Amino acid sequence: MKTSRRIIRGFRNPGRLLPLRLLLFICSLAAGSSPAALWAAEVGQANDASPQTTAPDSQPDAAPVEVDPSITLKGAVWRTKAGIVFLKTPVGLLTLSSKTTLKDLKASHEVSFWVHDRHSAVEIRKRSDGSLVHRYLSGPMTLGPDSSKTLRCWTADGEQTVHYGTQESKLAAYHEGDQLTVEVDESQTIIGVHDLQFDLQISQTPPAGSSAHVLLTGSVSKLKSNFVFFRTPVGVVMINSKIGIPPVKVGHTLTLHIDDGRVTAEVTKTTKPAA
Write out the chain's pLDDT in tens, 275 residues. Answer: 444 444 444 444 444 444 445 444 444 444 444 444 544 444 444 445 444 545 445 555 555 678 999 999 999 999 998 889 999 999 999 999 999 999 889 999 999 999 999 999 999 999 999 999 999 999 999 999 876 899 999 999 999 999 999 999 999 999 999 999 999 999 999 999 999 999 999 999 999 889 999 999 999 999 999 999 999 999 999 999 999 999 999 999 999 999 999 999 999 986 655 55
Closest CA to 222 of 208, 206, 205, 241: 241
Q: d(Cα 251, Cα 218) in Å, to the nearest integer?
A: 9
Closest of 90, 149, 139, 84 to residue 117, by C-alpha: 139
pTM of the complete model: 0.75
- Which residues are within 8 A (CB) of 52 and not within 5 positions of it... i.e. 6 or more apart? none
The single-letter DSSP state of residue 209 is: T
* Rounded Cα distance, 97 and 74, in Å: 16
CATH class, range 203-268: mainly beta
Alpha carbon of 17 to those of 5, 8, 27, 29: distances in Å? 16, 12, 15, 19
**Domain segments of the chain as ranges:** 70-198, 203-268
Nearest by Cα to 99 from 219, 185, 193:
193
